[in-house]
Chain A
């Protein structure tokens, strides 16, 4: 016992819960639409916003939110223009964002911030403000997906067809890019820049093993990421190892076990057939 008695542990559990909600939804969309690489780019580019935030003396997370939304839109605009290919545009913004972050943090006078917590996350030090931001974002993401689930699904499945039906495809795409960027930044506190993409891909890929329906993938990946986060937190507390990295280990182990179960099941089904 004792695990749940610490205030930072209960904050961490709330953070894990909120991250599981937003990442369950947005991550399933990212995986379905094959946007993992662009999401990785947005995650790393957001470091530029953290650096600028420090330099200007504003909350680095706010800086990161503005910066990551702008870089997400930037990637989309550049690749829409067809002058530069999308993956090259992502590669450029990915490293440019990191470079801007490093330069501005270097230029900031005084105490150098704890970069490690932004790079690798520190779910155990989330503040009430972080939790409030994550909760607001969770409400917004859930509301948008409840209200517009079908249009979002149909546009993601076949953009061209949606255009022939006069759907506001570009507006929806930009709205979702914005949500992706915001969810990523909210998760930097939990998993860090380098590890954030795992919350958006591993539970979803695990869910995808068992279901091919976007809605069930969303629910299943929410459950998997919350369970995985709790287990990861517990192991990191037991063995005194970094929480973000431990959670990701647990995610991958859950994925591996699920994959094993699935191939056993399908072999069994083959035998029966």
Chain B
């Protein structure tokens, strides 16, 4: 299996404050990693390190991505100015920035590609609207289109289920499962119960990183545990079992087989 990114004994943080210590994590091409952990535990710092938005204070981040292979990113909406004068379809096209760089022209086929994605997400009719005119959930779909238009090798999502209703949330996870056929996914979420059903592995981030590789929680694994912390069921979603780490971080997640 091909390795895309590898963090090797990485330390990171902001202005002298260490948020992540000694994190090592390989990301392979068809990984689907759910990232959980308490607020301030360093989940966002972890993905910003992988995205190159912040530099590690110690340690190495190896990228094995080749020229033209990209990382898709769905940020949290909160840092975006919703009054900015930009149209929906332009936002989606902006996901092609790394292919275009500064000098290459954008063409009508780029816009067509953006419109095809908007159609898939069921919001083609919003293509000429600006972001001030659409709802939070619709905007979230626009940002997802932007994240995947470059057909990235790795898709990083920071709380994709905020602002979306239950119906779209289900569609979203189905779509992510389909994307995972051709790209690795890392997803930060608070909805621990739901993701444990969809993801292949879990990374628990609380200053340190506890990684639970796929063989522990494959769907094939039939095991029954006590459910001391949290049981979430959505219809046929199986029980989720969470135990406590020594440092207080919820981590072990086990799936029952789908009935």
Contact = CB atoms under 8 A, between A and B. Distances in A.
Interface stretch (B93-101, B194-202, B213-221, B223-231): B93-101
Interface residues of B, number: 29
Contact of B79 (A28, A82, A160, A166): A160
Nearest to B93: A150
B90 interface: yes
B80 interface: yes
Interface residues of A, number: 29
Contact of A151 (B90, B97, B130): B97
B73 A164 contact: yes
Contacts of A213: 85-87, 130
Contact of B71 (A156, A157, A164, A211): A164
A185 interface: no
Nearest to A32: B85
A85 B157 CA distance: 30
Contact of B94 (A28, A161, A163, A217): A161
Contacts of A150: 93-94, 100, 106
B86 A153 contact: yes
A157 B97 contact: no
Given A164-B52, A164-B53, A214 B102 contact: no
Main secondary structure of the interface of A (DSSP, over half): helix
A165 B97 contact: yes
A148 to B, nearest CB: 6
B195 to A, nearest CB: 22
B135 interface: no
Given A162-B97, A163-B51, 5 more contacts: A33-B84, A82-B15, A154-B90, A158-B94, A213-B130
Interface of A: 28, 32-34, 82, 148, 150-151, 153-154, 156-158, 160-168, 172, 208, 211-214, 217
25 contacts: A150-B93, A150-B106, A151-B100, A153-B86, A154-B97, A157-B80, A157-B84, A160-B53, A160-B79, A161-B73, A161-B75, A161-B94, A161-B97, A164-B51, A164-B52, A166-B98, A167-B98, A167-B101, A167-B102, A168-B102, A212-B130, A212-B132, A213-B130, A214-B85, A214-B86
